[in-house]
Structure 1
Amino acid sequence: MALAPGETSETFIREVDENLRRDQAEAVFKRYGKWIIAAAVLLLVAIAVWLFWKNQQAEQAAANSEQFSAILTDVGQGKSGTDIAQRLDTLAAEGNGSMTGAARLTSAALALQKSDRATASAQYKQIIEDKSVPQTVRDTATIRLTQLEFDTLQPQQVIERLSPLAVKDSAWYGSAGELTALAMIKANRKREAAALLNAVAADTNVPPSIRARAELLASGLAIPAAPAAR
């Protein structure tokens, strides 16, 4: 092919390269075009489904919050019958992790008001076993269940169950430490109990009421406790 006047070999090579690329692209599209279009459509459908799901989740969460608020209002007005329990069970089944935990904690509290320890215990156990419930809520249920079952558990069971919570960086250090120390006292491990109670009493992050009890318990073991803040 003769070059046009003023046309350089570089320009010619570039045009040939562009034509070749275009021909290759057309060949690829003819061969795989339907699959490319199908993949693009599937991607758009997947995005649409995800957006719809997120919207539904948000709407469901809002609806669950309204239901829970209405239940708490009824409880505040003195209602605590079968209807309330059923509504809480439904909310626990249909809600997300946080709402499920809140509904079950409320069910347990209402059961304890009626001295129904079996129902309260069952609610706490369901929270603890539900991995979708936030860990902080599951820890709360662990403390409540241990308080409920304390007299029926062996001391070592209490100590082992609460070992992840009876540490200084735990939000439940005060309660878990106190229960663990009581279990140690039952197991005749009084020196360990006193050391733990002293540590709880000295920790300013622990609520004053728990620190005061820890100081009192430690003093009863004839081992000086750190003074609790008043």
Structure 2
Amino acid sequence: MAITPHSNEAFLREVDEELRRDQLAGFWTRWGRWVVVAIVAALAIFGGVLYWQHHQEAAAGVEGEKLQEAFDLLGAGKFPDAQAKLAPIAQSSRPGYRALAIFSQADIALQKNDLKRAATLFATVASDTAQADAFRNLALVRQTSAEYDMLKPQVVIDRLRPLAVPGNPWFGSAGEMMAIADLRTGRRDLAGALFGQIARDDAVPQTIRQRAVQMAGLLGVDASAAIAAPTLNQDVKAQ
């Protein structure tokens, strides 16, 4: 009996479907267990990531609370209790919390007039590459301030030169220390010019600018107008 084209196509389709079923069954027999293992492993990893994120957030919240407790103790003058709270946070894996705790420890050392320990603590933050530049630069300025009298003038100049430029947030503090170091090395012209720049910079805190005007004047640089003009403007606005 001859097979019509229609019957032939139907037969081939049935063979093809049967072959696919056999291949699927063979694949599942050979690899099915590993597919299940892979799915379970992927779900476990995903669950682990979610747990880790939750744990990190919870741990950060706990550290934040402990840091606030330490600040409250500092405000109350309870330095030993504050130190106990700050010690573990100063070893935190979170750079921001770590920096704040170390800054607080350094401030306690300054309260005790322990300049060497304060400088060492500030240096820890300044050299911590995991910290933001704002923290590191602030730490460098405060480290230099704490150990200023123990440093050679050229060390101060070399250390603070990158920060003692107009436009830098620490120009006032870094520039003032650098200008004094210039003065100690006999470079009165450099010191006077730097004090003049500080006095004319509106972004520098007013107290530093006022000192800069006085120092610039002593060194033959007239920067008095830099302070007089803003003061006059403020008087006019007040009227």
**In which range does the TM-score fall when normalised by the shorter chain?**
0.7 to 0.9
Instruction: Find out whether 1:220 has 2:218 as its counterpart.
Output: yes
Cα offset, 1:100, TM superposition = 1.0
- Provide the C-alpha distance between the structure 2 equivalents of 1:157 and 1:25, rounded to a whole number of angstroms: 76
Q: Percent same amino acid at aligned positions?
A: 35
- Provide the C-alpha distance between the structure 1 equivalents of 2:53 and 2:79, rounded to a whole number of angstroms: 34
Task: Summarize the Cα distance change of 1:36–1:106 in structure 2 as closer, same or farther, 3 Å threshold.
Answer: same
Task: Summarize the Cα distance change of 1:22–1:217 in structure 2 as closer, same or farther, 3 Å threshold.
Answer: farther
Cα offset, 1:146, TM superposition = 0.3
Q: Which residue of the partner structure matches residue 78 of structure 2?
A: 79
Residues 1-230 of structure 1 mapped to structure 2, 5 A cutoff: 3-4=5-6, 33-81=32-80, 83-94=81-92, 96-225=94-223, 227-228=226-227, 229-230=230-231
Cα offset, 1:106, TM superposition = 0.9
What is the number of equivalent residue pairs in this alignment? 226
| C-alpha distance after superposition, 1:162-195 (max 9, x if no partner) | 1222223321111111111111111222222222
| C-alpha distance after superposition, 1:72-119 (max 9, x if no partner) | 2122222112x3223211221136211111111111111111112222
Letter of the structure 1 residue corresponding to residue 57 of structure 2 = A
Q: Is the 8 A contact 2:119 2:144 kept in 1?
A: no
Moved more, 18-27 or 207-216: 18-27
- Provide the C-alpha distance between the structure 2 equivalents of 1:133 and 1:105, rounded to a whole number of angstroms: 13
Moved more, 87-96 or 172-181: 87-96
- Provide the C-alpha distance between the structure 2 equivalents of 1:126 and 1:222, rounded to a whole number of angstroms: 39
Letter of the structure 1 residue corresponding to residue 171 of structure 2 = Y
Task: Summarize the Cα distance change of 1:35–1:143 in structure 2 as closer, same or farther, 3 Å threshold.
Answer: same
- Provide the C-alpha distance between the structure 1 equivalents of 2:197 and 2:17, rounded to a whole number of angstroms: 78
Moved more, 104-113 or 91-100: 91-100
Letter of the structure 1 residue corresponding to residue 217 of structure 2 = S
Structure 1: 5+ residue stretches without partners:
none
Task: Summarize the Cα distance change of 1:35–1:78 in structure 2 as closer, same or farther, 3 Å threshold.
Answer: same
Q: Is the 8 A contact 1:96 1:132 kept in 2?
A: no
Q: Is the 8 A contact 2:69 2:85 kept in 1?
A: no
Letter of the structure 2 residue corresponding to residue 117 of structure 1 = L
Question: What TM-score does the superposition give when structure 1 sets the normalisation length?
Answer: 0.82
Task: Summarize the Cα distance change of 1:66–1:23 in structure 2 as closer, same or farther, 3 Å threshold.
Answer: same
Task: Summarize the Cα distance change of 1:224–1:54 in structure 2 as closer, same or farther, 3 Å threshold.
Answer: same
